[in-house]
Amino acid sequence: MKYNFGAGPCILPQEVFEQAAASVLDYNGLSILEISHRSADFVKEMEEARNNVKKALNVPEGYTVLFIQGGASLGFLIAAMNMAGKHKKAAYVNTGVWATNAIKEAENAGIEVVEIASSKDKAFNYIPEIKNIPEDIDYLHYTSNNTIAGTQFHSIPETSVPLVCDMSSDIFSKPIDVSKFALIYAGAQKNLGPAGATLYIVKDSFLGNSSLPLPTYLNLKVHADKDSMFNTPPVFSVYVSNLNLKHLLKNGGVESMEKINQEKADLLYTEIDNNPNFVGTAEKNSRSLMNITFKLTDENKKERFDKLWNEAQIIGLKGHRSVGGYRASIYNALPLESVKVLVDVLKSL
Amino acid sequence: MKYNFGAGPCILPQEVFEQAAASVLDYNGLSILEISHRSADFVKEMEEARNNVKKALNVPEGYTVLFIQGGASLGFLIAAMNMAGKHKKAAYVNTGVWATNAIKEAENAGIEVVEIASSKDKAFNYIPEIKNIPEDIDYLHYTSNNTIAGTQFHSIPETSVPLVCDMSSDIFSKPIDVSKFALIYAGAQKNLGPAGATLYIVKDSFLGNSSLPLPTYLNLKVHADKDSMFNTPPVFSVYVSNLNLKHLLKNGGVESMEKINQEKADLLYTEIDNNPNFVGTAEKNSRSLMNITFKLTDENKKERFDKLWNEAQIIGLKGHRSVGGYRASIYNALPLESVKVLVDVLKSL
């Protein structure tokens, strides 16, 4: 038994792994890996997956759910190109590496970027306040959770401009009001499914309205018009995502996840705050419920602490190389039990 | 037992399915679906997969192997954008739907396309002769195998300009002289692995030399500089591709595959040619060894023939909607035994 605190690709429910493995051997008489994406069976899986996203997030009418490839890294470009309007100008909130990359790709797409808020001055350890949103912009973009520094938006920015969000690392961890967004995108490999699929939830009125010429694959309308089957989709990633969505819906949905995730985070943050050996990396009111970052107060204890958690069969606790320290990623599928094991290790130092 | 003649995603070796399923449950103590792409284990898998591509195709020094996402449909764009040189002009051979899409994406990238040969006049049922290649072009692009019409290039076009090829549906089916190419790309889901990964084999001298501004994800040099780990790769697709490459190398490699594929194709084409109930769709000297297309000579026998092959547990035999008739895809992993079953069905009509 290993306790997987990895930042992603990360743990999924054991039941999902078992169902996925069984289907690699036998899915209606074939391997799930050899079925045609045009087969009735897979068309049904794709439709179910898209509908289960809608169910799980209570997506209102007028939105389309898509699975595309390329991760959020291609999503940065797709978001900018599809959301470009008459201004070819957008506001971005810079909360870390992923937001910085999103800004870069918007610029690569020919968008003039206004960085309206940034926490770069403190190594991105807080969520900056958003003030003075310009009016002559096509959209406002932010990254809901910063996996590296361990910060998270705890409310949706108030704005009248179209809102675009990279939710790769906290989607499905809590309810969200989708109606407030023009576009949400997220790599699958945290709370959704295996790496290789990227989720898009796009408001239909923004499909086909870009002011930029769009290559076919980068055009969300192309994917929407083909029910997310414009070309061969990442069949297995979508299939396992659907297994995981069904597991989520069966177990109380995102409302239930939010409670459990809060409980897990409280347990760990409380120990970090009370234990003189550790200090949290992120500012308290910006703390992420998904990626809990912390450091030793005395680096001389590093060897002993590393030995302790390794011996406890904990993996994936090393902090991102740009931040150092430690990072406990406690996504949906990480059991409360695993957090208790980690807390005990912290106590034992 | 089903006989899977599907055009892709398609059959892979049973042994690969078994290893893949086992690893979904337990890969060094975790599920392969929950391991970090930065873990030592996966870094090793990625390196092995890239090296096994080199071994399998005898890739010479000076080439880089990459796994990216997006399928050949994004590959059309990536190929054009990365190969754009001083002319911003390229020659394309139009042999069907995929070649047509490749042309469209090159144009979307801002490339002036010269269609130097086409078989559109006969519904793409032959490989056109290539004559008069202009000199003021950056590259010549062709599609080695046309899955829909069932045609295939049986030699590499002779040219002094950089050669680019979409080999999605026949790569690893036979030896190829990689040194003749500047860029080869291929969706994984035929002879390589599960859908979700796309293979690129690029001559290093073409990396970073595009005359176009490249968005980050579409820049092959970015992926090459990061050893194909610029962002989270499609972990499972790459892992299973590596399993399949190991299986290929253990079983005689592409030389062995070529012999078996020729044997399978000969068996089926001979029956089609000798059986008065059937006629081949493609011209004889352009016939594909991967996708064997044929039609009934008497459409009144359709109901009886469809009943016969369905009863024999054959699946995936329906022709592409744009061509009609039948298509038997006999990729590497399809056993000779399956072809014999199909031939028996043809005989029994």
* Residue B60, token pair as written in the block: 């010479």
pLDDT of residue B215: 98
Q: If you count residue pairs, one on A and one on B, with CB atoms under 8 Å apart, how many are there?
A: 183
Is the omega angle on the peptide bond into residue B60 within 30 degrees of 0, that is, cis? no
Inter-chain touch A4–B34, beta carbons under 8 Å: yes
pLDDT at B1 over 90: no
Three-state SS letters, B18-80: HHHHHHHHCECCECHHHCCCCCHHHHHHHHHHHHHHHHHHCCCCCEEEEEECCHHHHHHHHHH
Question: In chain B, which residue's Cα lies nearest the Cα of A33?
Answer: B194
Please give the share of chain A, as a percent, with pLDDT higher than 70. 100
pLDDT at A6 over 90: yes
Integer Cα distance of A85 and A208 in angstroms: 11
Give the closest of B9, B215, B236 to A105, CB-based: B215
Mean pLDDT, range B82-94, rounded to an integer: 98
Sign of CA dihedral B255, B258, B264, B269: negative
Mean pLDDT, range B82-89, rounded to an integer: 98
* Residue ranges matching CATH 3.40.640.10 in chain A: 14-250
Mean pLDDT, range A98-116, rounded to an integer: 98
Helix axes A302-311 and A336-348, enclosed angle (nearest 10):
140
Residue B228: its chain A contacts at CB < 8 A? none
Cα of B254 to nearest chain A Cα, Å: 21
Sequence-ordered list of residues with C-beta below 8 angstroms from that of A329, at least 6 positions apart, any chain? A5, A6, A7, A8, A10, A147, A290, A291, A292, A316
Sign of CA dihedral A201, A203, A208, A212: negative
Contact (CB, 8 A) for B140 and B164: yes
Residue B8: its chain A contacts at CB < 8 A? 36, 232
Residue type at B256 in one-letter notation: S
Pick the catalytic residue from B138, B166, B170, B264: B166
B85 at interface of A, judged by CB pairs closer than 8 A: no
**Structure confidence by residue, pLDDT tens digits, B265-310:** 999 999 999 999 999 999 999 999 999 999 999 999 999 999 999 9
* Residue ranges matching CATH 3.90.1150.10 in chain A: 253-348
**Structure confidence by residue, pLDDT tens digits, A177-198:** 999 999 999 999 999 999 999 9
Give the closest of A77, A197, A216 to B108, CB-based: A216
Mutation for A interface: B236, B291, B314, B322, most A CBs within 10 A = B236
Give the closest of A33, A74, A76 to B9, CB-based: A33
Cα of B42 to nearest chain A Cα, Å: 11
Cα of A4 to nearest chain B Cα, Å: 8
Cα of B202 to nearest chain A Cα, Å: 19
Superfamily for B253-348?
Aspartate Aminotransferase, domain 1 (3.90.1150.10)
pLDDT at B68 over 90: yes
Rg (CA), chain A: 20
Contact (CB, 8 A) for B139 and B161: yes
Distances (CA, A) of A12 to A190, A248, A331, B32: 8, 11, 9, 11
Sequence-ordered list of residues with C-beta below 8 angstroms from that of A296, at least 6 positions apart, any chain? A277, A278, A279, A302, A305, A325, A326
Mean pLDDT across chain A: 97
Instruction: Just list the catalytic residues of A.
Output: 98, 166, 190
E strand or H helix that includes residue A295: strand A291-296
Residue type at A27 in one-letter notation: Y
Q: Got the DSSP string for A88-156?
A: -EEEEEE-SHHHHHHHHHHHHTTPEEEEEEE-GGGTT-SPPPP----SS-SEEEEESEETTTTEE-SSP
pLDDT at B14 over 90: yes
Instruction: List the end-to-end C-alpha distance of chain B, in Å, as a whole number.
Output: 22
Mean pLDDT, range A218-232, rounded to an integer: 98
Residue B189: its chain A contacts at CB < 8 A? 232, 235
Question: In chain A, which residue's Cα lies nearest the Cα of B316?
Answer: A36
Question: In chain B, which residue's Cα lies nearest the Cα of A18?
Answer: B25
Inter-chain touch A11–B34, beta carbons under 8 Å: yes
B112 at interface of A, judged by CB pairs closer than 8 A: no
Distances (CA, A) of A94 to A112, A180, A333: 15, 20, 28
pLDDT of residue A1: 78
B230 at interface of A, judged by CB pairs closer than 8 A: yes
Integer Cα distance of B323 and B321 in angstroms: 6
B273 in catalytic set:
no
Would you say how long chain B is, in residues? 349
B:281-340 residues touching chain A, CB 8 A cutoff: 315-316
Residue B185: its chain A contacts at CB < 8 A? none
Give the closest of B24, B195, B216 to A21, CB-based: B24
Residue A70: its chain B contacts at CB < 8 A? 69-70, 74, 217
Residue A2: its chain B contacts at CB < 8 A? 29-30
**Structure confidence by residue, pLDDT tens digits, A33-92:** 999 999 999 999 999 999 999 999 999 999 999 999 999 999 999 999 999 999 999 999
Cα of B276 to nearest chain A Cα, Å: 30
pLDDT of residue B314: 97
pLDDT of residue A322: 87
3-state secondary structure of A282: coil
The strand pair at B163-166 and B151-152 is best described as unpaired
Give the closest of A34, A73, A236 to B4, CB-based: A34
Question: In chain B, which residue's Cα lies nearest the Cα of A213?
Answer: B108
Contact (CB, 8 A) for B201 and B65: yes
* Residue A192, token pair as written in the block: 């959704």
Give the closest of B29, B36, B72 to A2, CB-based: B29
Task: Write phi, then psi, for B54 (nearest 5 degrees).
Answer: -60, -45
Contact (CB, 8 A) for A77 and B217: yes
pLDDT at B321 over 90: no
Cα of A297 to nearest chain B Cα, Å: 27
pLDDT of residue B246: 98
Distances (CA, A) of B198 to A215, A231, B27, B70, B277: 18, 13, 23, 7, 39
B31 at interface of A, judged by CB pairs closer than 8 A: yes
pLDDT at A174 over 90: yes
A22 at interface of B, judged by CB pairs closer than 8 A: yes
Cα of A274 to nearest chain B Cα, Å: 30
Contact (CB, 8 A) for B186 and B192: yes
Inter-chain touch A31–B37, beta carbons under 8 Å: no
Give the closest of A4, A73, A315 to B217, CB-based: A73
Residue B44: how many CB atoms within 10 A of its CB?
Answer: 11
Inter-chain touch B194–A101, beta carbons under 8 Å: no
3-state secondary structure of A58: coil
Report which of A242, A245, A203, A196 is spatially closest to residue A224, judged by C-alpha positions.
A203
Inter-chain touch A20–B22, beta carbons under 8 Å: no
Distances (CA, A) of B339 to A108, B264, B266, B268, B269: 50, 6, 10, 7, 11
Report which of A128, A131, A118 is spatially closest to residue A159, judged by C-alpha positions.
A131
**Predicted TM-score (pTM) of this structure:** 0.98
Inter-chain touch B216–A189, beta carbons under 8 Å: no
A6 at interface of B, judged by CB pairs closer than 8 A: yes
pLDDT of residue B256: 98
The strand pair at A326-329 and A291-296 is best described as antiparallel
Inter-chain touch B2–A109, beta carbons under 8 Å: no
Distances (CA, A) of B166 to B79, B103, B170, B320: 9, 12, 9, 19
Integer Cα distance of A140 and A339 in angstroms: 35
Inter-chain touch B70–A71, beta carbons under 8 Å: no
Integer Cα distance of A68 and A17 in angstroms: 22
Inter-chain touch A9–B73, beta carbons under 8 Å: no
A14-250 fold = Aspartate Aminotransferase; domain 2 (3.40.640)
Mean pLDDT across chain B: 97
* Residue B273, token pair as written in the block: 């040619």
Report which of B246, B206, B199, B247 is spatially closest to residue B71, judged by C-alpha positions.
B199
B18 at interface of A, judged by CB pairs closer than 8 A: yes
A:178-197 residues touching chain B, CB 8 A cutoff: 187, 189, 194-197
Is the omega angle on the peptide bond into residue A215 within 30 degrees of 0, that is, cis? no
Inter-chain touch B30–A4, beta carbons under 8 Å: yes
